Amino acid sequence: MMDGTQIIQIRSLLLEAADAIDRANAIVSTLDSDDQALLATPLDEISSALHFELLQKLYLRYPGLAEEGEVWDGATV
């Protein structure tokens, strides 16, 4: 089983990845339609998997982890 520090590190990295995907999506939205067609759907699929599979599973398994500034299992979120 993961300890609080490991869980928070994983959450932090996943949230950083989500931010990077959002930034990539913003750039993709400025591209021509062919490049948008090539990149938009895969980025959306990755974003959905990240938010609705990985992060959601963490939050369901470790209630309270989603709250910023909370102390969770001895570590600050």
- Please give the residue that has the higher pLDDT: either 1 or 77: 1
pTM for the predicted model, two decimal places:
0.78
Quick check: is 26 in a domain?
A: yes
Residues 6+ apart with CB under 8 A from 75: 4, 5, 7, 8
Q: Please report the pLDDT score of residue 71 as a whole number.
A: 46
Quick check: is 74 in a domain?
A: no
Quick check: is 75 in a domain?
A: no
Quick check: is 77 in a domain?
A: no
Question: What are the pLDDT digits (tens) for 17-29?
Answer: 999 999 999 999 9
Quick check: is 23 in a domain?
A: yes
Quick check: is 59 in a domain?
A: yes
Q: Please report the pLDDT score of residue 77 as a whole number.
A: 45
Burial class (CB within 10 angstroms; exposed 0-12, middle 13-18, buried 19+) of 17: middle
Domain span holding position 14: 4-68
Q: Please report the pLDDT score of residue 57 as a whole number.
A: 92
Question: What are the pLDDT digits (tens) for 42-74?
Answer: 999 999 999 999 999 998 888 878 765 444 455
Quick check: is 73 in a domain?
A: no
> Total structural domains in the chain?
1
Quick check: is 50 in a domain?
A: yes
In this model, does residue 75 exceed pLDDT 90? Answer: no
